[in-house]
Amino acid sequence: MFKRLHDWFDTTERRLRNSFGDDLSTPRTRRQAWWHFNLFDHAFLRILWTNFDEVAPGVYRSNHPGPQRLEKYKEMGIRSILNLRGVDGRSPWLFEKEACDELGMELKVAKIYARKPAKRKEILHLIDTMREMDKPFVMHCKSGADRAGFASVLYKAIIEGAPLEEARKHLSLRYIHTDWTETGIVDHIIDMYEQRNAQSPITMEEWFRTEYDHKEAAASFAARRAGKRAKAA
């Protein structure tokens, strides 16, 4: 019963969320999009809470910035933005694209995920994009916790060459990231690399380019979670 009720609320919320918020062309639809941005994307929570931090010189991470925060980033000297959420044509993307265009800030996209493993081509696109970004730049997802944390680990370890132990600090409660829920998939991917590297040395980038398999990551993560649940039962 509770599952059916939860599914009904989830379906209803999704339908409502997808029913508007995709148009900034008139005053009325812009107001609707602003309500969509604040209520369904929880932008009102990010007015004061930014989850902003430095990853490396000229590289920063944060949650999804609204237009006013993008103006502040511009004043700070930020030149480009890396969106890790993807392009869905809804209010978060529309307001970000509009603001970046008006401010003259480069906006690039490298979509990854918080609750499922990204495919090899998606991770390689992320690595290549981060390497090519015009600095200073800010990378962001929605909350700045999971996808931004994973991307920050990759930047530190692959591009900066930092020890993985140091890089992994970007996946922590400091950023409201947890590894005991579905978002632990991003930690699991890093664990997979560490286990492989312990067998015979291989760089993280080479592993992603030649051996990483998102289906294997999904299956082994599901098995690990099932094992933990069985032990707790």
- Output the furthest CA–CA distance in the chain (Å, rounded): 60
The total of other beta-carbon atoms located within 10 Å of residue 221's CB is 21
Scored b (16 or more CB within 10 A) or e, 9-23 reads eeeeeeeeeeeebbb
Both tokens assigned to 229: 């649940």
Give the model confidence (pLDDT) of 23-41 as tens digits: 999 999 999 999 999 999 9
30-35: long-range contacts (C-beta < 8 A, 24 or more apart)?
A: 33/91, 33/94, 33/95, 34/91, 34/95
Residue 66 CA, chain-centre distance (Å), reads: 16
Alpha-carbon distance of 214 to 216, in angstroms, equals 5
Residues in the chain: 233
Measured at the CA of 218, the angle between CA 204 and CA 9, to 5 degrees, comes to 130
Give the model confidence (pLDDT) of 98-156 as tens digits: 999 999 999 999 999 999 999 999 999 999 999 999 999 999 999 999 999 999 999 99
The pTM (predicted TM-score) of the whole model is: 0.94
In the chain the first and final C-alpha atoms are separated, in Å, by 22
Protein fold of 26-232: Protein-Tyrosine Phosphatase; Chain A (3.90.190)
Q: Is the pLDDT score of 6 beyond 60?
A: no
Q: Is the pLDDT score of 8 beyond 70?
A: no
